[in-house]
Structure 1
């Protein structure tokens, strides 16, 4: 007997473990165009637009401010999105980090998210 396995795409239930209130924990934002953003992407905010965190960059792009609550293809230009902005517990393993992020940079970003009430926890 063969057992089929299915690789289902991740959804918000995999990432968001607890939220204070859907209307308060999440915000609608604009993502900077030019990228395909995965669910769980850790984001920075630059000039009123959100983009992938860049911890080795300069300025506001190196500060974590939110976690993307959906996959958004913004390859063709700026796109609307929903982010987890405050008052939530997220699955640490589901967070998407930039390539090459160091452990100290990741720790600093998690501290920045924690200060906003976005707490990353390991899941069982």
Structure 2
């Protein structure tokens, strides 16, 4: 019998949101990446576009190293910049296991730092079952 695997859903990520009209925004995502649901994002200062938040400053993408949002839908921006829906401010509770980090964020301390940055925006990550 084949094994079926379901893609993550918004319910897997978003555990509480006080008012979607207040907490969500539509933003432009930087081209060149397919962004999965739950992507931890930072904003590039020069362009205002969002990208996966790296562990350290990346030349040309300064500002994105600070995590300020979480993507609420999967977006394919491999061929060009695309729009996506984000949780931009709280109060929001997210499942920590559903968060997707940039490949450079590969140490527990780096992930913890990103979670602290999100908490400053009111986006609180909790251990969820």
Q: Is there any run of 5+ residues in structure 2 with no aligned partner, and where?
A: none
Structure 1 segments, 4+ long, off by >6 Å, are none
Paired with 2:127 and 2:8, the residues of 1 have a C-alpha distance of 16
Aligned-residue offset at 1:103: 1.9
CA contact (8 A) 1:38 1:71 kept: yes
Cα RMSD of the aligned pairs, angstroms, is 1.4
Paired with 1:55 and 1:63, the residues of 2 have a C-alpha distance of 8
Q: TM-score, normalised by structure 2?
A: 0.88
Paired with 1:112 and 1:76, the residues of 2 have a C-alpha distance of 29
In the alignment, is residue 81 of structure 1 matched against residue 84 of structure 2? yes
SS of equivalent to 2:84? strand
Paired with 2:27 and 2:52, the residues of 1 have a C-alpha distance of 13
Q: Is there any run of 5+ residues in structure 1 with no aligned partner, and where?
A: none
Write the mapping of 1:108-119 to structure 2, written as runs, cut at 5 A.
Answer: 108-119=113-124
Structure 1 partner of 2:43: 45
CA contact (8 A) 1:70 1:82 kept: yes
Aligned-residue offset at 1:109: 1.1
Paired with 1:5 and 1:104, the residues of 2 have a C-alpha distance of 34
Q: Provide the aligned length of Structure 1 versus Structure 2.
A: 122
Deviation sequence 1:57-102 (CA, Å, 0-9, x none):
2431210010010000001101010001111100000000122422
Structure 1 partner of 2:127: 122
